[in-house]
Amino acid sequence: MKVMILGADGYLGWALSLRLMARGHDVVGVDNFATRKSVAEVGSDSAIPILGMEDRIKAAKDIHGFKMRFHEGDVTRYEFIHKALKEEKPDTVVHFAEQRSAPYSMINAQHAAYTMQNNIVGTINLIYAMMDVNPSMHVVKMATMGEYGTPNFDIPESAFVEVEINGKKDRITTPKFAGSWYHWTKVHDTNNLLLANKIWKTTVTNIFQGPVYGTRTKEITDEKLHTRCDFDEVWGTVVNRFAVEAVLGIPLTAYGAGGQIRGYLSLEDSVDALSLLIENPAQKGEHRTVNQFVELLSINEIAEIVKKAAKKEGIDAKIDHIENPRVEADKHYYNPEVKVLPGLGFRPKLKMSDLAAQLIADLLPYKARIEKFRDRIMPHTRWTRTENAR
């Protein structure tokens, strides 16, 4: 199958490109390197060094014999994405090419507006370009579990729910209350994709994924093939941040009381699940909704897992509770439904407790590199301010 990956230079995009090539697919990458630039803008970098795209593609060929093509460009430029689709004619387009940091979107008006423009316009362009080039293309869009917030109901794996309001029944889109401008861009994307499906019968898999952690997949066997690993207060996911804090010998910084629960999964399980969804596409004209995570964990549980893993590496990590820079409930109900992936045969291979020690071991050789960004770890970006100094 020919698969185009928008955002192929990113954390998931590079790992998925390698997995799909290993499975014999023809992969074409697209990226404008926005994440590399935006991480540098906040004075940080990937904890683990990553090669430039040309060298990455060469390394994938030398090490695994994979061949990958790449188009540099911005999906918010309609002519660019239209030309790339027309030239390549992929069967499937995976859309990862979005600004994906909640704190980045909360820095100030310019960062909020950039996130809105980049994410919503990119997705609209993809919908229109696909309709012009090949309306039956399968679009695999990465949404996020964060679109729902933390509702006091079981989150269904469905785009619509039946409701009764003032005695009248109807079918409405599943209610969402996202907690950052970034997460709202994903809600808007989901709504736009639902309209495209309603009026044009597009074929879409919309994946509500939880936070992904880890540095490895079966294909990432050499340091030349590493994918990015962000840890700073703006770009780092909590597990990577805790692991870096352990490596630097500073306390693990749990935000607030640490009762916030989310659904996590490893990078290996993420690319495995994505491959299944690509190889088992939605029906023609179907808008398929998928919830994708492996285990529900609270921040306190994650801190304990990383602390225990650090001990195995001879590090005595402490846990500190610091003021939460975000506005979010730290005690709440959380129960999303997961049935589509198990129905396709997905069986998670890894739990966070299996992987945390490996994550720390992978970071230890880069301790001196990470040291340089030590002051980028503590939270500066606060939800309660409209202008965050950088």
Ligand X SMILES: NC(=O)c1ccc[n+]([C@@H]2O[C@H](COP(=O)([O-])OP(=O)(O)OC[C@H]3O[C@@H](n4cnc5c(N)ncnc54)[C@H](O)[C@@H]3O)[C@@H](O)[C@H]2O)c1
Active site residues: 144, 182, 186
Contact with ligand X (CB under 6 A) among 11, 66, 70, 346: 11
Q: Which stretch binds ligand X (CB under 6 A): 2-10, 54-62, 152-160, 351-359?
A: 2-10
* Shortest Å, Cβ 27 to ligand X: 15
Q: Is the dihedral of CA 150, 239, 384, 143 positive or negative?
A: negative
Residue for token pair 């027309």: 86
**Among 11-19, 108-116, 243-251, 305-313, the segment contacting ligand X (CB under 6 A):** 11-19
| Residue number with the smallest Cβ distance to ligand X | 10
Binding mask 199-238 for ligand X (x = CB under 6 A): ----------x-xx---------------x--------x-
Report the residue from 3, 4, 5, 10 that binds ligand X according to the rule CB under 6 A: 10
The reply to whether 179 sits near ligand X by the rule CB under 6 A is no
Interacting span for ligand X (CB under 6 A) from 51-59, 92-100, 278-286, 326-334: 92-100
Q: Classify burial at 284, counting beta carbons within 10 Å of its beta carbon; exposed 0-12, middle 13-18, buried 19 or more.
A: exposed
Q: Which is nearer to ligand X, 20 or 314 (CB)?
A: 20
272 touching ligand X, by CB under 6 A: no
**Residues numbered 132-161 forming contacts with ligand X, rule: CB under 6 A:** 142, 144
- Residue 181 in contact with residue 106, Cβ under 8 Å? yes
Instruction: Give the nearer residue to ligand X in terms of CB position, either 121 or 315.
Output: 121
Site residue total, ligand X (CB under 6 A): 28
**Contact between 122 and ligand X (CB under 6 A)?**
yes
Rule CB under 6 A: which of 52-81 touch ligand X? 74-76
CB of 123 to ligand X, least distance (A): 10
Site string for ligand X, 12-51 (x = CB under 6 A): xx-----------------xxxxx----------------
Exposed, middle or buried: residue 110 (CB in 10 Å: 0-12, 13-18, 19+)? exposed
Tokens of 135: 């309306």
What DSSP element (H or E) covers 164? strand 160-165
For the CA atoms of 269, 273, 278, 281, the dihedral, rounded to the nearest 10 degrees, stands at 180
Residue 295: Cβ-neighbour burial (10 angstroms; 0-12, 13-18, 19+): middle
Cβ proximity to ligand X: between 179 and 211 the closer is 211
Cα 123–129–132 angle (5° rounding)?
A: 145
Distance CA 18, CA 57 (A): 10
Q: How far is the CB of 267 from ligand X (least distance, A)?
A: 8
Nearer to ligand X, 31 or 362 (CB): 31
Closer to ligand X by CB, 98 or 245: give it. Answer: 98
Give 181's contacts (C-beta < 8 A, 6+ positions apart).
102, 105, 106, 112, 115, 116
- Give, in order, the Cα–Cα distances in Å from 4 to each of 31, 89, 141, 380: 11, 9, 12, 36
Cβ atoms of 213 and 240 closer than 8 Å: yes
CA dist., res. 355 & res. 25, Å (int): 28
Of residues 335-364, those binding ligand X (CB under 6 A): none
> Which CB sits closer to ligand X, 271 or 357?
271
Instruction: Please identify, among the stretches 18-26, 91-99, 333-341, 350-358, the one whose residues bind ligand X according to the rule CB under 6 A.
Output: 91-99
Instruction: Copy the structure tokens of residue 204.
Output: 């879409």
Tell me which of 27, 94, 97, 282 binds ligand X, using CB under 6 A. Answer: 97
Helix (H, G, I), strand (E, B) or coil at 93: strand
Beta carbons of 379 and 322 less than 8 angstroms apart: yes
Chain residues binding ligand X by CB under 6 A are 7, 9-13, 31-35, 74-76, 96-100, 118, 122, 142, 144, 209, 211-212, 228, 237
